[in-house]
Amino acid sequence: MNQYETVFILTPVLSDDQMKETVNKFKGLLTDNGAEMLNEELWGLKKLAYPIQKKSTGFYVMFEFKAQPELIKKLEVNFRRDERVIRFLTIKNEKYAAEYAEKRRNKQSNKEEA
């Protein structure tokens, strides 16, 4: 299994419930196909660097997970088919990026506990 990180942007016209439903859909797609979720971050509504589909803001979501390489193609096909997703990017973390991500997760969990 490889470690991956994917960030996707959802259209800003969604209600809070619709946004959470979409996030859960993709999270379910990953877990149903054997992926191990490491981290999920909802970055919220952010301004885009440039307009995409005449929209200047979007809901940013980031997943960190371990999965088989075949699952990435399936995930990206679903991103393309879903009209609520404006943009997405999936990267494979090499060992140094994976170590950094783990440190960042630990630091973030320590902040939340304090």
* CATH number (domain holding residue 103): 3.30.70.60
What is the structure's pLDDT at 19?
Answer: 93
CA–CA gap between residue 99 and residue 9 (Å, rounded): 25
CB atoms within 10 A of CB 32: 8
Given this model, what pLDDT does residue 6 score? 95
Domain holding 53, by residue range, is 2-113
Q: Quick check: 84 and 22 in contact, CB under 8 A?
A: yes
Question: Looking at the 3D structure of the chain, how many domains does it have?
Answer: 1
Looking at residue 114, what is its pLDDT? 60
> CA 43, CA 78: separation in Å to the nearest integer?
21
The model's pTM is 0.86
Give the residues of the chain that fall short of pLDDT 70.
113-114
What's the CA gap between 55 and 11, in Å, rounded?
8
| CA terminus-to-terminus distance, the chain | 33
